[in-house]
Amino acid sequence: MSLTTEAILVLEDGRTFRGEAYGAIGETVGEIVFATGMTGYQETITDPSYHRQLLVQTAPHIGNTGFNSEDMESGQIWVAGYVVRDPARIPSSWRSEGTLADALVQQGVVGISGVDTRALTRHLRERGAMRAGISSITTHRDVLLERVLAAPPMAGADLSAEVSTRESYVVPAQGEKRFTVAAIDLGIKGMTPRRMAERGIEVHVLPSSATFEDVTAIAPDGVFMSNGPGDPAAADHAVDVLRQVLSAGIPYFGICFGNQIFGRALGLGTYKLTYGHRGINQPVQDLTTGRVEITSQNHGFAVDAPVEGGFETPYGPGRVTHLGLNDQVVEGIALVDAPAFSVQYHPEAAAGPHDSAYLFDRFVDLMEHHRAPVASPPPPPPPTEADVTGTAGTDPASPDPTSPDPTDADTPVGADAPEETA
């Protein structure tokens, strides 16, 4: 019989849940959010967008397929805390290399199990995402609540630099290289550059601190900005870089946080959603085709843009291209007359459905149609009147400008001229 350690979960409004420690023993605080996916928990918790968040899994059974090294979307687990109802005792998958609980322990992630996640999710839907804390070293509610209330809120947090790569790296194109893309890592998931590489794109992943000069140094055919954590209103550096990209006319594609950065670059506002969109079952309509797709999402902020009628930007007219069907939140925007678009969700489908894979093809088409032309010699100047008549504007005794020069390359320098013949 195994011994269990009691754990406690306290929300900033005082709502308290008790359960058992799951993962590392310790204490953690952050913004508590919920994700509705029934599968893909490993891809979810290794998504850098969950940095500084306590994640509630609404699916009751978690850990069934264990944990492996292939489904990591980054180099670590990023959730600040983990809340589940009924963790698997024994994983069952031929791909499993260990248990989820062991992975949480190894990476120091504090969690709690045995929680009524249905009641917790309903509470968050009514009250909104908020700060919370999990502890398995103290079970005193008031002590943990005091620490929760002292934690910084997500609004105003600039977190991209905390999850971004420190050094640039390249993901080579698969097969024939067709394009070069500069991907600015604001919290990028590993599958995203692979989806581009599958389409013949050589992806140069740059840190979030990259400047416009860093971007243009690789002579990209397009620029990409990734998903990531934090408040887009605090990401001024990324907005400034993107404005320079748009001014230069370089094709742009952004997802999730990159969509919010695009909105700000166009002069639009952003705002915090009550409880966000997180999961792999979010319905979105592509307004350009009318098609409805089921999408993978993870975001707590959105772009404030008019759904109908379009809007004006410093780079020409813009429009909303995608709409969330659950709550009518803007899920995609684009410039009408310039090569730039973005969506609020995750088309790389890790985890999630593949309905949105076409967006990478749309980016390829955008770069194909806006590829910089190959430099060619300037055309010869138009003929002048003198060229046509051979006399106008010239001395009749001067040589014909169209006659070959006896000192041209065919005649060696210093050689005698050929003798005249009758």
Residue scoring higher pLDDT (388 or 146):
146
Confidence of residue 51 (pLDDT cuts 50, 70, 90): very high
pLDDT value of position 303 = 98
Nearest to 298, CA basis, from 78, 30, 34, 31? 34
Task: Give the pairing of strands 269-286 and 316-324.
Answer: antiparallel
Q: Decide whether 6-149 matches 160-369 in CATH topology.
A: no
For residues 81-99, average pLDDT: 95
* 34 marked as binding residue: no
* 68 marked as binding residue: no
Quick check: is 204 catalytic?
no
Residue 360 to residue 347: CA distance in whole angstroms: 8
Task: With a cut of 80, say whether residue 391 has pLDDT above it.
Answer: no
Mean pLDDT, rounded, of the chain:
89
Quick check: is 256 catalytic?
yes
Instruction: Specify the CATH number for 6-149; select among 3.40.50.970, 2.40.10.10, 3.50.30.20, 3.40.50.10860.
Output: 3.50.30.20
Q: In sequence order, what are the beta bridge partners of 275?
A: none
Indicate if the alpha-carbon torsion angle 193, 196, 202, 208 is positive or negative. Answer: negative
* 17 marked as binding residue: no
pLDDT value of position 385 = 43
* 260 marked as binding residue: yes
Identify the H or E element spanning 65: none
* 300 marked as binding residue: yes
- Residues 318-334 have pLDDT tens digits of 999 999 999 999 999 99
Residue scoring higher pLDDT (374 or 104):
104
pLDDT value of position 60 = 94
Set 31, 202, 256, 299: catalytic member:
256
* 113 marked as binding residue: no
Task: With a cut of 90, say whether residue 268 has pLDDT above it.
Answer: yes
pLDDT value of position 419 = 37
- Residues 70-87 have pLDDT tens digits of 999 999 999 999 999 999
Domain limits of the chain?
A: 6-149, 160-369
Task: With a cut of 50, say whether residue 378 has pLDDT above it.
Answer: no
Burial (CB < 10 A; 0-12, 13-18, 19+), residue 228, is buried
Instruction: Specify the CATH number for 160-369; select among 3.40.50.300, 3.40.605.10, 3.40.50.880, 3.40.50.720.
Output: 3.40.50.880
Quick check: is 348 catalytic?
yes
Residue scoring higher pLDDT (289 or 422):
289
pLDDT value of position 372 = 58
